[in-house]
Structure 1
Amino acid sequence: MQKWKVVVTDWEYSDLRYEESVLDSERFELVPAQCRTEEEVIAACRDADALINQYAPITSKVIDSLQKCRVITRYGVGVNTIDLEAATDSGICVANVPDYCMDEVSDHALALLLAWTRKVVVANSHVKSGVWDYKVTQPINRLRGKVLGLIGFGKIPQALAEKVKPLGLRVIAHDPYVPQTLAQAKGVQLVSLDELCRLADFISVHAPLTKETKGMVGSEQFAAMKPHAVVINTSRGPVIDERALIDALRTGRIAGAALDVVEREPISPDNPLLTMEQVILTPHVAWYSEESAAEMRTKAAMGVVDVLLYGKYPQYLVNTQVKEKVRLNEHGLANRDAVEA
């Protein structure tokens, strides 16, 4: 019996036990790789039936080289490592895992908001250096009554909106893809990006990284913000124009930032953000808990099973336009040849 070949293009875990539990060895050959470049991906994946991807570049050049690939799944929510248009043109399903860390990321965004507001990091640093004086945290202002602006209003910011309501925050959001009825049901007012920047005391970024969102929070947006505004980002670093952010912080245009992501990761040792006391930084950890990691890896593997074994579209299909090129049914298939394009 011929096995399906599934290549894990790159991964940063101690093992692949969750993937192995889904992709049994009788029907799947799971091939771990640690690709960093297009050439390495092409060499490892040319004859693969499926890819599971983390950070390795799945460019149009890579996709053109794939001889048999039916599905590419990605660890996590964002799919900016994959050329979706090229995958669609080639009839390859692309899937992500959009729901594995809703609580983790919304919790982390809230933690950053509270840590910045209460000056937890500043206070901790001074106490550990021998200074016991609350005045080093001045000024601290009351949180209740402030406005939280959400850029993006998908599942994670919706969860965050619910979590901040007991704190007395008013929530507004900008998301051109969300209907007013949904926002109203959540008790959130939809506004333009310009309005959000003018009205919000805290701005939490939750937009995915796309051609449209890259650099969407830039000089114009910082110029519209309140001088005491704080920007929080737990989505993708390049959604914020980092040079404009640094300039806004240096000039006092805004009060501070709390960032789990930056433009280039890991952060460069000479990045000015590292020396700014008004900036809190964490190492792209918002997604993580032991439970979320297990869920993400299991669901990424299940996307492969959906297509190759059951001959159906993956549960979390991203490039829905691929349905115009690939006909998959909803029932189990007798063999691999039954999956027809």
Structure 2
Amino acid sequence: MDRNLVLNLVRVTEAAALGAAKLLGRGDKNMADQLAVDGMRNMFDTLDIDGTVVIGEGELDEAPMLYIGEKIGKDLSGSIKVDIAVDPVEGTTAVAKGLPNAIAVVAIAPQGHLLNAPDMYMDKIAVGPRAKGVINLDAPVKVNLMNVAKALNKDITDLTVTMLDRERHAEIIKECREAGTRIKLFSDGDVGAALATCFEHTGTDILFGIGGAPEGVITAAAIKCLGGDFQGRLIPSDEEEKERCNRMGVDFKKLFTLDDLVKGNEVFFAATGISDGDLLKGVTYHEGNKAKTHSVIMRGETGTIRFIESIHRLDKKPEYAR
């Protein structure tokens, strides 16, 4: 894929973040999500790609969201065919309540390279590059903690574990506390939390727990760019979800490795902060009808990571000056 595509990709997440950020803390997560979707879709239409959404906001009958199977991009003669994974607002509740760590994210890979994961739960584990190859989702929590601590040359009591603040994680929390690790719970959205394990300045070492499967694929795309490690397994909640997996040709009993979720290294990832978080700053507004965004873009083939701060003149982008 053209390396310039990743630079254009950040414009997509910036558009989504600028759309959603105006509603930070205003209690309307659905409208924030809609504004992000509108901005993201409009910007995608400027890209020279023949794209298909494989991870999106819902199904065809849930349009105008960016639905699974939707075709996006200019689709000109010779346009590259790509799989697209999107989450216009990863952390809609965080936006509605004015809480941290809401981001807009996009991943792109050649057609057939991203797992078309059904919209259900996934059990996950994620670590950064120094702990690559030492995790196993099927191993006991303490075994994973010991292996990661050894890889990071840390005492197990100096590890910081992160996971969603949910009742379903009570047993994992108990095991981590018994092992003596530090725990950082978060309220919404696990893509950004998983990525934090790949950056030493965040202080986060390992992510455990159950979250959305679509977010799992997006996370895997970013972690592949970063050189970290990720594993996941689908958790259907009923027979209908099991049947959906069967229709999509996805084995819900399979332990998915990083390479199962994202084939090859030809993958791009972009994220823009909506609210302040461990990894990215949120959108801020300044005099003269200006806004500042903070983004990260990544390219899997080269491992290049770029952080980008942009100043936007909203009078020249009236669709964002709501």
- Please indicate, yes or no, whether the TM-score normalized by the shorter chain is above 0.5: no
User: Is the radius of gyration larger for structure 1 or structure 2?
Assistant: 1
Asked which structure has the greater RCO (Cα within 8 Å, sep 6+), the reply is 2
Instruction: Give me the TM-score of the superposition, normalised by structure 1.
Output: 0.26
Between structures 1 and 2, the one with greater strand share: 2
